[in-house]
Structure 1
Amino acid sequence: MLHSIKIKTLSLAILFALSSPNFAYGSPWADSDGAEDDYFEDFYGDEDFVSIATGTKKSVHKAPAVATVISADDIHAMGANTIHQVIETVTGIHTYPSNINRMNPSYSIRGIHTPENSQVLVLVNGVRTTYEFTGAKWNIFDVGVNLIDRIEIIRGPGSAVYGADAYSGVINIITKGNDAVFENDVGVKAGSFDSKNAWFNYGYQQDNIKFSANAQWQDSAGDSSRVVPTDLLHLIGQSEISNAPGPLDTRHRYTDIHMQLTVDNWYASLWYLDLEGGTGAGAAQALSNNDTTSGEQIAIQTGYKKQLSADFDIDVNLQFQQYKAATYFEIFPAGYIDAAGVNYTEGYIGNPLLEDTNYQARVTSNYSGFAKHKIRLEFGYKDSEETTDEFKNFGPGIISEGQTEQDGTLTSVKGTEHIFIGDNTRQLSYLSLQDEWLLSSDWELTAGVRYDHYSDFGSTINPRLALVWQTRHNLTTKLLYGSAFRAPSFGDLYATNNPVKLGNPDLKPEQIDTWDLAFDYRPSYDWQVLFNIYQYQASELLAYVDNQLENSSKQDGIGSELEIRWQPSDTLKVKMGYAWQDAKDANNHPIADAPQHSIDASIQWQITEDINIYSDTYWISNRYRAPLDSRNHIDDYNWTNLSMHYDGIEHINLTLTVRNLFNSDAREASNGRIVNDYPLEERGFWLTGRYSF
């Protein structure tokens, strides 16, 4: 059946290309008077550029990837409160709360996701937001949306450029730094759920000196209406001590600061991020009013970048990054009685601490001295160290034999066999080579490969090939292949007493091979149609076998993504998107919780010179449960947002945003311990004021 669907989908894609108006073989530069060149510029002249696909700047329609760029204007128009709300607007990406990652949103791309979300690489100004215990973005993560210049996203593999974890996609969040063009501004926002927000963006340039500083502070108590009627304690017969019915703990607070300095060819940057929040449904899906998870990150970069000749440039970069994570879990509330009969009079409490320290050096160069070739070479080294500690009042080393009662005193188990994971280090060295080869005026082949060697599990090689054909002045066709890997994390390899995962030091990387056929068609100046089909085979996936992690699973997927953009005038923009995926596990079961069908749409309308409205909506459909979960399929839902902007006062913009406009009862999948799934936010209102100078 799946094979039949593949053939039909591929046939449809080829038919789409062949039946496109003005489709013909041959060069689009046929007119000697240059008229067609001008026509081409009319179609693509103001298009966004993207560097995430190759590491070098390219217009989106020529990028050898399925790429999306979200601009600062787009983010301002939608009135988003979080980075996750922005990413949700991308066709083919679904954002949902993680079951085990403190309800930190995970990104499901093409049916590929896990609760830790370690198959998506998230960067901020090229800096990884990954910590070594999970190999995923930090447990609690956000970026000030008012500080963002643009977001570049590729759906599909990116390991040939970025290495580990660029598996199902790569997201690079780029802030308003020295390379961006932006107005200095300050702003405040307030709204539902006791939400407060303030920010500023400042840039300075004189002669050969550039400096920028950006900061945002945000605080929200979370939506107290996200009530769940039962939790795990109801399932194990201790409902009398449960906090359910009660709300999910979704409070959060962060401070996000960026600074950049450029002097001639030298540059330096600082990024500081401090976050704190609740743990959603709690560590064990037993509601708690006392949990807190926090993270503090600092990244410092410095480097030298110079165009040494017309054909050759070099970038030498040094980076230091440190991330500290701390979580206080009241895993079960006061009065909990464990299987051995111990009564925890002040609660069953854990307090794990992790600290990642990374030192990295890389050299990147581009050479275009060979006719029709642009060679990119990068090599680098990274040293990662993770130190841990754990305080708790339960488990071996804490509870004595025959003990019947335990208070809330916490004891460190660092240096003992009872800690969830010990201190670990790893070293990575890598070499990446890429050739962008202009075969002719309308054919370009990008070929690349990256070699990674890890000190703890060995080496991996990941190639990519991309053929981009400017089929006509208004049609671009792409045939893409990429291999990617997800590195086993410290937790995968070495976790010992973690109730969520037990490690296996013999693990290998997860692998994936992905093929894409993509079209970018502009039937007229005001229409754009983006269509792609893909197929992937993921192997060596981690799964538990007899309570031990093994590379024992696989996943196959096929799907398509369609976007239609229409701009009939300078005052109206419309976008519609549809994504379909059919991903199956090793037992041919649909991948749990991933929507097989999703639809998104948005409209932006400049009603008058001073009034602008933006509305987006999306529909999430056909989500299956895990194989052993007997609950009904997860309900479909529709979600709509509305933002209204007023620019009638000089230098001032006022915005009213309504999220979940129709107050939909929208839910995302739980693992069954919260039986009725996770309710999303009710309707909320926010008012924003921005002053530009």
Structure 2
Amino acid sequence: MTNTPAIHLIYLLGVFMACNCVAEEDIYGLSLEELQNVTVTIATKTDTQLKYAPSTVSYFSRQDIRLLGIETLSELFAHISGFYPMYNSVEGNQSYLITRGHPQKYANTLLVLVNGQRLNEDYTGGINYIDRFVSLHNVEKVEVIRGPGSTLYGSNAFNGVINIVTKIENNIEVAVGSFDRREINGGFNYQGEELSFGVDARIYEDDGDTLGNVFDRFNIQTTTNDAHEANQLEAYLSYAGFTLRNHYFNSKRKNHYLFRRLRDGTAYVENKHWLSRLEYQNAQQQDWMFKAGLEYSKAKRKSLSALELKGTGPFTQADFLFGENFTHDSYRANIDYSYQLLAKHRVSAGLEFVRSQVPGGYLRSNYNIFGDLEYFGNVVELTAPEQRIILDNERRIEMVYVQLESVWNDQWRSTLGLRNDAYNDVTDKTNPRATLIYSPNERHTFKLIYGQAYRVPSLGDLYDEESGLTIGNQNLRPTTLEALEFVYQFVGEDFSISTSLFRNDIDDLIDFRVDGDNVFLDNIASNTTRGVEIDWQLRLFNKVQLKGFITHLFSNQTHIDEAQQITPSDILVPRTYSMTSLVYYPNQNWSISVSVNGRSTVEVLSDKDSNTAVSAAVNYQLSDNMSLSLDINNALDTEYSTSAIVPFGEKNNQPFGEYQARGRNVSLSYRYQF
């Protein structure tokens, strides 16, 4: 593997040795007791102390993300209890995210929000098309529900909800690193008495790692690479309670696998996503809150690869090139209202209206795949009405929810919620939840959580027609989840632990059914998973912290109908996976962290491949407004693989479907805040 460490900026460490020390609380962070009193909104859409959140919630501050060297959403997944990313760098429909033992391509059982706006697009239901490598360089905090969230957020809030909250600051940052990484980002922010506005931009490019252990059905290449480009833009304007916020994400990946094939120099996939939201929220009131918003979202995916070589079958004039061009549009309006009733109860309610469709769904090729395979001479997009490969059917959704939060006394609290989602094209869904919290004192908290959730069939699931991804079925039912969880939390002066015992029962899983010569999507499976998540933090000394989690699955059983093509989750998912991080503060200007991410064996991999990966981060505060960060992923240069849901073919007479991870990846960044 190529590896070019970013050492040519290290001399900056010697240039700025004179520094003004920053505040101690900014370096060492909140105490464990203070952390439990942090206010989060993701679990109720109202301000709630973390320890009393009626869901199992993980919280990451801006400081946490910087200290741990987390740069992207994909890297963050590895630090969330119950989550494990089986992600490769290019082919998103064959990689997957594990949430509490459930593997799902496109991560479409996870809802991802940026400042409250959905990133999930309705063509796949997941986040692949906006790119899971969204940068967290300007994040303020990240809040995570681990478990069902459909009672507040609807479809895809199935096994988790993540809300990324950004903050634009006056700064500029440059970074270089392995694989010829080049990056620059910066922001400008103005804060007036009533008017504020800001803009933040990021440009990223690397030439990729050289990866071996590949499967090439053409027998042309024995290695590949994963070159990557990304641009990101955010702008906002706020006045008198109104905020207009816009996001743009663009990512392009070259080479590596696409459509389960290798073709360096030809293969690429490019994802674009635009998000806009206009929101009004009333000024801070003690008794009531009102929020209303209008959203627009557009996602585009464009790809190309070689499916067959020149001379294979009818392809006599050139290699058979194939790709897609999809566009997804969504409009959304919502109202949320909450009112404090009789000091002990808070009632919340909301309405939401959605219209979404796929106005562009076309194939690209250098041969007429809808005709007699005549050769075009170059790549042509096949856009005739009869050549659409996804029907442009409009989806309309009307949603209403109601929630009651009650504080009965100093020890007992409860939350009840109910939401109904009415669709024009699939079965309506009603999802309840109930949480009972008992806290006998400041150190001990017990929670009993019950919830239901669902994943609605995506527009692609319903309306695809020979797209190369799926064959749609307009009779699909939503995939449903019934979850029960028992949580115990202990918070001491130097040690805290949270233990969550959960049971998930999933019905109507969607995958391919074989019926003679026909292969189509159908509800063909169910799954029952029982497991435990243990999160903990320990302050060994004033300057040393240990934190981490372990997730263990006691059982993970998938029940599949006959004549199916689904890969059971128990051979895709490790039974145990964990993360442990040590953070050391030599003084107020330095921090050093080392994180160890581990998993047990994955049966579907050819060598079963249990794995331990190490990452590290070093931060040095040069002065009040200047800092250096050194981040190292896969610090031991460990060779390991992630698995694919569908094998690419056979290698050495065995099914092969795995991707080699990048080797050691070092980056050095300099940040100036003005």
Bin the TM-score by the shorter chain: 0.7 to 0.9
Q: Quick check: 1:529 aligned with 2:535?
A: no
Contact 2:94 2:105 in 1 (8 A): no
Give the distance between the partners of 2:32 and 2:539, measured in 1 at CA.
Answer: 14
**Change in CA separation of 1:42 and 1:423 when aligned onto 2, cut-off 3 Å:** closer
Aligned-partner SS, 1:273: strand
Compute the displacement of 1:633 (Å): 5.5
Letter of the 1:651 counterpart:
N
Matching residue's letter, 2:215? T
Letter in 2 for 1:176: K
1:689 and 2:670 correspond: yes
The Cα shift of 1:597 comes to 0.5
Q: What secondary structure is seen at the aligned counterpart in 1 of 2:574? A: coil
Match of 2:158 among 150, 164, 167: 167
Question: Structure 1: which amino acid aligns with 2:78?
Answer: E
Closer, same or farther: CA 307–104 of 1 in aligned 2, 3 Å: farther
Cα deviation for residue 314 of structure 1 reads 1.2
Q: Quote the residue 1:361 is aligned against.
A: 333
Q: Comparing both chains, which one has the higher relative contact order based on Cα–Cα distances under 8 Å and sequence gaps of 6 or more?
A: 2
2:223 corresponds to 1:246: yes
In structure 2, the CA distance between the partners of 1:121 and 1:101, relative to structure 1 (3 Å rule), is farther
Tell me which amino acid in the other structure corresponds to 2:71: N
Alignment of structure 1 residues 633-672 onto 2, 5 Å: 634-670=608-644, 671-672=646-647
Work out whether residues 282 and 288 of structure 1, in 8 Å CA contact, stay in contact via their aligned partners in 2: no
Match of 1:276 in 2: 252
Are 1:210 and 2:196 an aligned pair? yes
Residue aligning to 2:391? 422
The secondary structure found in structure 2 opposite 1:145 is coil
Sort the Cα spacing of 1:174 and 1:163 in 2 relative to 1 into closer, same or farther, 3 A: same
Matched letter for residue 227 of structure 1? G
- After TM superposition, the structure 1 = structure 2 runs for residues 465-504 of structure 1, keeping only pairs within 5 Å, are 465-504=434-473
* 2:177 match: 191
| TM-score after normalising by structure 1 | 0.85
The separation in 2 between residues aligned to 1:105 and 1:64, in whole angstroms, is 31
- Between the aligned partners of 1:672 and 1:355, the Cα distance in structure 2 is 28
1:25 is matched with none
Alignment: residue pair count = 624
Q: CA RMSD in A?
A: 2.3
Quick one: which amino acid aligns to residue 195 of structure 1?
A: R
Pick aligned residue for 1:584 from 553, 557, 562: 557
Displacement of 1:548:
2.0
State the shift of 1:569 in Å.
Answer: 4.0
**Offset at 1:308?**
8.9
Answer yes or no: is the 8 Å Cα contact 1:639–1:660 preserved in 2. Answer: yes
Matches within 5 A, 1:506-585: 506-522=475-491, 524-546=492-514, 547-581=519-553, 582-585=555-558
Match of 2:110 in 1: 120
Whole-angstrom CA distance in 1 between matches of 2:90 and 2:557: 22
Cα 1:172–1:632, aligned 2, differ >3 Å: closer, same or farther?
A: same
Structure 1 residues 369 and 151: CA distance shift in structure 2, 3 A: same
- Taking a change above 3 Å as real, the CA distance of residues 692 and 258 of structure 1, as seen in their structure-2 partners, is same
- Stretches of structure 2 lacking an aligned partner (at least 5 in a row): 1-30, 562-567, 650-655
Q: Is the 8 A contact 1:590 1:624 kept in 2?
A: no
Contact 1:447 1:465 survives alignment (8 Å): yes
Distance 1:298 1:499, change over 3 A: closer
* Identity across matched positions, percent: 21
Partners of 2:106 and 2:128 within 8 A in 1: no
- CA gap of 1:665–1:138, structure 2 versus 1, over 3 A, is closer
Note closer, same or farther for the CA distance 1:184–1:275 as it changes in structure 2 (3 Å cut).
Answer: same
Q: CA deviation at 1:279?
A: 5.7
Q: Give 1:607 deviation, angstroms.
A: 1.2
CA contact (8 A) 1:227 1:245 kept: yes
After superposition, what is the alpha-carbon deviation per residue over 1:46-81, rounded to whole angstroms, capped at 9, x for unaligned? 743221111112121111111101111111112233
* Contact 1:176–1:201, Cα closer than 8 Å, also in 2: no
Are 1:593 and 2:561 an aligned pair?
no
**Kindly tell me: are residues 283 and 99 of structure 1, through their superposed partners in 2, closer, same or farther at Cα, counting changes over 3 Å?**
farther
- Post-superposition offset of 1:417: 4.3
The 3-state SS of whatever aligns with 1:482 is strand
- Structure 1 contact 160–464 (Cα < 8 Å) conserved: yes
2:455 and 2:480 in contact (8 A); partners too: yes
Contact 2:36 2:50 in 1 (8 A): no
- Alignment deviations for residues 594-614 of structure 1 (CA, whole Å, 9 cap, x no partner): 121112110111113332211
Structure 1 unmatched ranges of 5 or more = 1-40, 178-182, 626-630
Q: Please state whether the residue corresponding to 2:501 is helix, strand or coil.
A: strand
User: How far does the alpha carbon of each residue in 1:565-584 deviate from its partner, in whole angstroms, 9 at most, with x for none?
Assistant: 01244422111321112321
Q: Deviations over 1:530-565 (max 9, x none)?
A: 111100100011122221211121011000011220
2:70 aligned residue (74, 80, 83): 80
The residue correspondences of 1:79-118 to structure 2 (distance < 5 A) are: 79-97=69-87, 101-102=91-92, 106-118=96-108
**1:673/1:383 Cα in 2 relative to 1: closer, same or farther (>3 Å)?**
same
Q: CA deviation at 1:207?
A: 1.3
Query: Scaled by the length of structure 2, what TM-score is found?
Result: 0.88
Separation in 2, partners of 1:516, 1:370: 30
Matching of residue 313 in structure 1 with residue 296 in structure 2? no
